[in-house]
Amino acid sequence: MHKAKGFSVTAAIGALFLGAPAALASDREALDARLQQAKPVECDVQCGDVITQHTKLTHDLSCPGTDEPALRIEGDGIVLDLGGHTVRRSSPVRQDTLGIVVTGTSMVRNGTIRGFARGIQTEGVDSLRVHKLTFAVNGTAIYNFFSTTSFLVTNSRFIGNDVGLGSEIDASLGSFDVRSSHFENNRLGIYLDTHAADVLDSTFTGNKVGIYCFAGSARVRSSVFARNDAVASTTVPIGGRDICERFRFENTLIANNASFAPTETPIWNVVQLDMINNWIVGNDNGLTAGSFQVYIQGNTFWDNAGGLTLEDTPIVSLPQTGIVRANRFLRNNGDGLRVLPASTPTVLGNVALGNTGWGIHAPTAFDGGGNVARNNGAGNCEGVTCAPY
């Protein structure tokens, strides 16, 4: 159970946020180095084959989508190199079809997986390395099935899938480390259920939802979210057992999206919201976030159809606290920054210029000083003192 009465989470969830022990991380780095250095042998692989040694495909595979996977990897430390080729489903029906099933710690690289219900499925796997793969029009591109699995996904593309990264609901644990990858025109880019995502140098464009945090956490660094229907979504906090622990966005561009959250769940409800040094520009609405704690520093909200609104979250029955510091709210429709009662973050050193509503409206916030506001349509500041310069 992720959430009990009041505010508590299981040790399993907590472990996700603490990260892997140093010895375990070191072991994984050594394994990853061995996998990258492996030199698979070219083989005449056919649909239904079981891969038990380093193997490189010599041709495309069009597989009928029977009850058996197109390919199965068995054994630890195996590298399957698709050799630039495509493994695709040839049957007209996608339901229950499997692309590549992985049953041991392995690496799959360099090719395309297309049209399956699940492109890659892990079963009892400690870790999986995915490199330079394209996943196109699958149900779920990479699926963690009844496993506790750490995924490392690098230089890969997820195009037109129902879900890019996903897992069996309430039946698997793990983490998704995503590096230099691209998510485009998926219904959900990344779905998190009892998983933590760490996304670096990646792009999300044209997705219905970029990241859906049903239960888990997401850290996004030096990435781009552009022209998505919604940047991210969280579970509706209605007293259920699933909560999103943390959203953390750092040095990321969030631009020209239709919304920050879907219409049916328009608020990011998380325990902790961190936004640090991001550019939030030209989006079609503002960001409303309900959380227990916030750390909002160094962001620029510019020319959006709304600014930033902070409020308490039903996940935790205490007022929101935290820091809102050194942000710039420039020429947004509506308020630049609005803090709803009874939230009590400390607001300091922010600049609000040319917003059509209030510059800063924060009647219950703590005034940390140093705020500047001018030329805002409804008024410059409420609840904190602002200087014009």
* CA dist list (Å): 168 to 211, 245, 280: 17, 19, 33
Tens of pLDDT, residues 137-149: 999 999 999 899 9
4 within some domain: no
Q: In a 3-state reduction of DSSP, which class is residue 304?
A: coil
Phi/psi of residue 222, each to 5°?
50, 45
Statement: residue 27 has pLDDT above 50: yes
* Distance separating alpha carbons of residues 386 and 389, to the nearest angstrom: 9
d(CA 79, CA 332): 50
Instruction: Dihedral sign for Cα 311, 315, 320, 322, please.
Output: negative
Containing domain of residue 343, as a range? Answer: 11-387
Residues 6+ apart with CB under 8 A from 174: 144, 147, 148, 149, 150, 151, 167, 194, 195
Sign of CA pseudo-dihedral 167, 99, 133, 128: positive
Query: Per-residue confidence at 66, pLDDT binned at 50, 70, 90?
Result: confident
Encode pLDDT of 253-304 as tens digits: 999 999 999 999 999 999 999 999 999 999 999 999 999 999 999 999 999 9
Asked if residue 6 is part of any domain, the answer here is: no
Residue 111 has pLDDT above 90, yes or no: yes
Domain count for the chain: 1
Residue 1 pLDDT exceeds 50 = no
Residue 194: Cβ-neighbour burial (10 angstroms; 0-12, 13-18, 19+): buried
Higher pLDDT, 60 or 146: 60
Residue of 110, 162, 154 whose CA lies nearest to 136: 162
> Is the residue at 2 inside a domain?
no
Of 323, 322, 275, 277, which Cα lies nearest the Cα of 298? 277
Q: What is the mean pLDDT of the chain?
A: 91
- 3: in domain: no
- Assess if residue 68 is contained within a domain: yes
Q: Identify the CATH number of the domain in which residue 316 sits.
A: 2.160.20
- Each residue's pLDDT tens digit, 160-179: 999 999 999 888 999 999 99
